[in-house]
Chains A and B, each alone.
Chain A
Amino acid sequence: MVDATHRAGGVIPPAEVPELELYHPKSWWTTYVFSQDAKVIAIQYAGTAMAIGLVALMLSWLIRLQLGFPGTFDFITPDAYYQFVTMHGMIMVIYLLTALFLGGFGNYLIPLMVGARDMVFPYANMLSYWIYLLAVLVLVASFFVPGGPTGAGWTLYPPQALLNGTPGGQELGIILMLVSLILFIIGFTMGGLNYVVTVLQGRTRGMTLMRMPLTVWGIFTATVMALLAFPALFVACVMMLFDRVLGTSFFMPALVEMGELTSHGGGSPILFQHLFWFFGHPEVYIVALPAFGIVSDLISTHARKNIFGYRMMVWAIVIIGALSFVVWAHHMYVSGMHPLFGFFFATTTLIIAVPTAIKVYNWILTLWRGDIHLTLPMLFALAFIVTFLNGGLTGLFLGNVVVDVPLSDTMFVVAHFHMVMGVAPILVIFGAIYHWYPKITGRMLNQQLGLFHFWVTFVGAYAIFFPMHYLGLVGAPRRYPELGGTAFIPESVADLNAFISITAFVVGFAQLVFLFNLIWSLRYGKEAGPNPWRATTLEWQTPTTPPPHGNWGDERPVVYRWAYDYSVPGAPQDFIPQNDPWPDKPLTRPA
């Protein structure tokens, strides 16, 4: 061990960075509703995201009803099917995953983990949530307008997104979708600035960047990426809104619709695709990096072992973040491009597998000879590793132009992206909720219900998405509400689809058990105590659980070590909290 204390003498010099002046709420409204406390905002974000996520879950049931039992349900017309698919995709990617990881976990964990009292700009943080809520409400409103929500697919490709044949294209659906996205981006920017600047400026003494838990690194890097990538979606949405409302032709080419020439002409749909995927690909990592970070912490804590290759893990996060901006066109191989571009984007796509693989190896090496406790967070973390690996490997298939072209419009792609950015991050979200719920509420979640939830979700997700790879390989196309009697598609595809649908209903119901557990344990869960997992990071060392506004009582903690001192030889316990000066004495304040 190297003593890294900056100034000898064992005395803390007076603070050069003043403590935050917190706004202390005076009424019920400002405490629980218009709260500026990052922890309350986190719960608001998470609650809203989960509520809208439930809508998306139900939409997926409707999609599966149609695919599993085509022709049985009259109310699922092709138009309705496309609306379900569009809203399911958009809600899950943006309004659930992004909002929950960054708005939910980011808000709750960043200030606690870096030893801050709150975010640096609490008021903007509060606004961020309310604008997000407004965005969600605008999105929900599109279900109730004439024509219903847009059915353009979650990628909203023009020109079809704005045409008569597409549900919501010439009605309000697409307008509300675009407005909702624009609002989301504005709200996110306010929150995102907070997360980044809090990590940069709000850390407590001794918390150097290289002592931060990987969770904070993951959320921090993802937020930086989101701040740079969301403007692309913003530009795309604004220009598309102009095309739709003001009759410009940024994206809309000249075309004949129902025998009549539309008023547009000369626009470039490819331009939209470039803008959309310039946001869309980083978005995958905006969701994945927080998951990477959280999973690292879960594995280390529940295997009672320091994370293997911490430095490498940090560098890999940063490098993945940078690389993810130069791979976007691999989503556009079938849109047509210069072969050299295809080659370039295939190469960068495959290169990004290197830092990602480093992370997977490091997780496995952390588990190697660890004291593995198969707690619920650990189970979900393990499930994440296999699922992410699975989805990542099919990504290598699709990253190559020649393999992607025949597979691109098949169910193989659906299987791939659900594995890698649907199931995998959701497993981490569950693991993280089981892990941090005791800190948030002071009570443990019920173990039996949790085990039931885990096994049904994990096995069920495989039963749903694994067969889809085969569906894709035999040529079953995606985006079709009904396959009909296509010659090359064997009849077994229909049976498999029915099987997948039934599994999907079961897995969906298991999520209701999880929700029940969340509510039931609030009251009847076992008392957790301040640090039930015997973890090292700062959020478990708060003087009170759940932590109050301001987090730390009179004094912010002082950090003496990194976040992964588990099973240190000679230490009194098998973990040493970050604010524990062992084997030295704590620094004292000058009198």
Chain B
Amino acid sequence: MSVVLVFLLVVIGFSFWWLSHQRIMSKPWLESGVHTAVPETDASGMATEKVALGVFLAVVGALFALFASAYFMRMEYSDWQAPPLPRILWLNTFVLMLASAAFSCAVRATRERHIALTRLALSAAGLGTLVFLAGQVTAWRELAAGGYFMDTNPANGFFYLMTGVHALHILGGLVALGRTTIRAWDPGAEPKRLTLGIELCAMYWHFLLLVWLGVFVLLEGWAGDLVTLCRQLLT
């Protein structure tokens, strides 16, 4: 369970750091008046949607950290045999990186009100994501064709499970991307709303790229090597 504990340590550390900036040492029983950090309320100036997405990403992070924890614990058993990873995963990783980069471009373009460039970048990101998903399906079919089915070994099971859950999250993101894309083509759309939508999508995609890199490292078996190395250093 060490992976999820490290993840929690980060989340709790961040929460405590944030709390320490919220006047938790104040003595509310001694004050009266409208004291607030910002004049109106001490809610953060960040858009509410972004805060919500941040909290949601913490939940998604916990989910994948738990899968990783389970992966490490299960791989200790003698029947574990990791499948050979399809080479197409490298291509998929590259494509997802491109999609993420396209989102970065889209964010810059929409902030500078370059509507044509925004549309181009959004389309590129969407297309890249679809290619990534198609690539993942190809990887699944390749594994299945090689006889590496879900129930033949727990390592295969984890492969399908983790890539599947990751793909489901991407699909959920595509719904949001679809709505944002429609807005980008709507001439009457409010530019601020559009910018926010694109920023949210970008944040989500960057995070899912990070998660994918983590999953990929795990499935490639490098994470196991890393753990062994750490253990040797410690003992």
Residues of A in contact with B (beta carbons under 8 Å apart): 1-7, 12-13, 15-17, 120-121, 189, 193, 196-197, 200-211, 224, 227-228, 231-232, 234-235, 238-239, 242, 246-250, 263, 265-268, 270-271, 274-275, 278, 306, 310-311, 314-315, 318, 322, 325-326, 558-562, 564-565, 581-584, 587
Contact = CB atoms under 8 A, between A and B. Distances in A.
Contacts of A227: 55, 58-59, 62
Given A121-B52, A205-B34, A266-B79, A250 B41 contact: no
A559 B157 CA distance: 54
Contacts, number: 198
Contacts of A235: 63, 66-67, 70
Given A120-B48, A201-B48, A315-B24, A208 B42 contact: yes
Interface residues of B, number: 58
A266 B154 contact: yes
Nearest to A251: B74
A3 B70 contact: no
Given A4-B34, A311-B24, A228 B11 contact: yes
Interface of B: 1, 4-5, 8, 11-12, 15-16, 19, 22-45, 48, 51-52, 55-56, 58-59, 62-63, 66-67, 69-70, 73-74, 77-80, 150-151, 154, 157, 161, 165
30 contacts: A2-B32, A4-B32, A7-B39, A16-B40, A189-B56, A197-B48, A201-B44, A202-B48, A203-B43, A204-B41, A206-B41, A208-B23, A208-B28, A208-B35, A209-B19, A210-B22, A228-B11, A228-B62, A231-B66, A234-B63, A235-B63, A239-B161, A249-B79, A267-B77, A274-B73, A318-B19, A325-B8, A561-B28, A561-B31, A587-B34
A362 B11 CA distance: 29
B227 to A, nearest CB: 17
Given A6-B34, A201-B48, A268 B42 contact: no
A208 B16 CA distance: 17
Given A208-B42, A232-B62, 17 more contacts: A1-B32, A2-B32, A3-B31, A6-B35, A13-B39, A16-B39, A197-B55, A206-B35, A210-B28, A242-B150, A247-B151, A250-B74, A274-B73, A275-B70, A310-B28, A562-B28, A584-B32
Contacts of A565: 29
A202 B33 CA distance: 19
B175 to A, nearest CB: 14
A3 B35 CA distance: 8
Contacts of A271: 70, 73-74
A203 B41 contact: yes
B55 A193 contact: yes
A267 B154 contact: yes
Contact of A209 (B4, B29, B42): B42
